[in-house]
Every structure is written in structure tokens, then in C-alpha cells.
Amino acid sequence: MALSNEQWNAPAGGADFYEHQIVSSLRNSAAQDGTLKWTAGTPTSSTTFTMSYWVKKYTNSTDGADSNIFIAGTDGNNSISHHFATGPEFWSLGQGGNWGANYLVSNAKVRDTSAWYHTVWRYDSTQGTAADRVRLYVNGNQVTSWRVSTMHGQIAEDEAFSYINADGVVQSFGGISSVGPHAAEGADLQMAEIVFNDGQSYGADSYGETKNGVWIPKDPSGLTFGDNG
């Protein structure tokens, strides 16, 4: 189903509302090269992994390098990325390798610059249905309405994913120079509780839950993380 703005922009509760509280966040800046990077080692699985993060955008007026959330790749023509577009939507672009320069772009909009969005990217090429091999959840809801969904047709069943969770490839939150469509360091956004589970296909309910109509974080420490987790 398509998600309404109300579903994506749920209000927050008070401090005593949360059993698991995220106590800090990473405040990125394109001007100050605010980027978090790590280099993947040999993965537990090249076909199955999950990424979860909370992200808050500063503005709806930027596209390009200032909107980078995540990039992994080897050069400007070979990468996978997550970022905000000026639509404004959640946007993922894969180019090179098994991505074939194709996109996932949500129909639902991401307009609220005061809200934190919990985002789960679920990669699992063992799925028999092509649309289930890359799945996106926002604030607990799976996105099934896409403005562009050509990426779904790029990944064959049981095929290893290119770049993301790949041995020796830099994985970057906030951008990375010379890699990806928006090849710059830093981004104008905040991120919190970035979690990567190598070898596991988890839905949004592994990282969050609805309480009194509000999507809130759960403690992820009991999950299985794998070699690159």
C-alpha cells in the first residue's frame, strides 16, 4: 500500500515512553565532510543482509551530494546508494555490477524536516519473487508503491549483490568522494542507531515497534550480526 504522510511522520513520545532510548546521533554536514565509513571484510553472506537506520533530513530543497544517506562502491560508475531526492522521496540507485543503472523511488513523500524516519533496507536474493529481493520499510511499513522500481528486475535469484557488504569495498554513511552518483563527502542530515546484520533477512519489527500509535525503536543487541555486522 502507499503510505500517507501521517504514517511516515508519526509524533514522538516523552522520554519515559521508550523502553529502549537512542542516546546519541551523528550530525552530518556536507560543508564539514561529515562521513562515517567502514570497509567490509569477507561477508557471512553475499546474498542476504539487512540495514537499519534512523535518519533526519535538514531541508527539502537539496538533491545531489547534500542528500546522501549511504553509498558503497568502487568508483563513479559502480555503486549502490540511498539518498533523498527533491521530490522529496526515498531513492536508491544501483549502477554497474548486477545493478544495471536502475532505481527504486518511493511514491510516498518525505517532507517533514523535524521528524526522524526509521528506514530498513532488506536485501535477500534467495527470495523467489523479484520484488522481495530488495525491500524498504519506513517507520514500520513496507513500501510497496513505487514511482520507479526497475532495480527489482536486476537481481537474479541467489545472485550475490554487488558492492554492498562486499569484501574490501568501503561502506559510507553520508557520502564518499569519487564513488556513486553524488560523489562527495558528507551530507546535510542526522543519523542514529545504524545497524547492519550480515547474513540475516530482518523485517522492520526486529528494530522497532508501535506503541500508542507511535513507531519507536527496540533494542537490537539480541539480533544476529554476522561477520560484517
Q: Averaging pLDDT over each range in 50-59, 68-77, 88-97, 118-127, which range is the top one?
A: 118-127
What fold does the segment set 5-10+23-118+141-217 form as a domain? Jelly Rolls (2.60.120)
Is it the case that residue 3 has pLDDT exceeding 70?
A: no
Query: Above 80 in pLDDT, residue 168?
Result: yes
Instruction: Name the one residue in this structure whose C-alpha cell is 546535510.
Output: 188
CA–centroid distance for 82 within its chain = 6
Q: How far is CA 150 from CA 104, 120, 155, in A?
A: 7, 19, 10
Can you give the pLDDT at residue 132? Answer: 97
Q: How far apart are CA 46 and CA 134, in angstroms?
A: 13
pLDDT cut 70: percent of the chain above it: 91
Question: pLDDT tens, 25-60?
Answer: 888 888 888 789 999 999 999 999 999 999 998 888
pLDDT exceeds 90 at position 8: no
For 76, 92, 121, 122, 158, the CA distances from 136, given in Å and listed in that order, are 24, 10, 5, 6, 19
Q: What is the mean pLDDT of the chain?
A: 88
Asked whether the predicted pLDDT for residue 4 surpasses 50, the reply is: no
Q: Tell me how far apart the alpha carbons of residues 183 and 110 are, in angstroms, rounded to a whole number.
A: 23
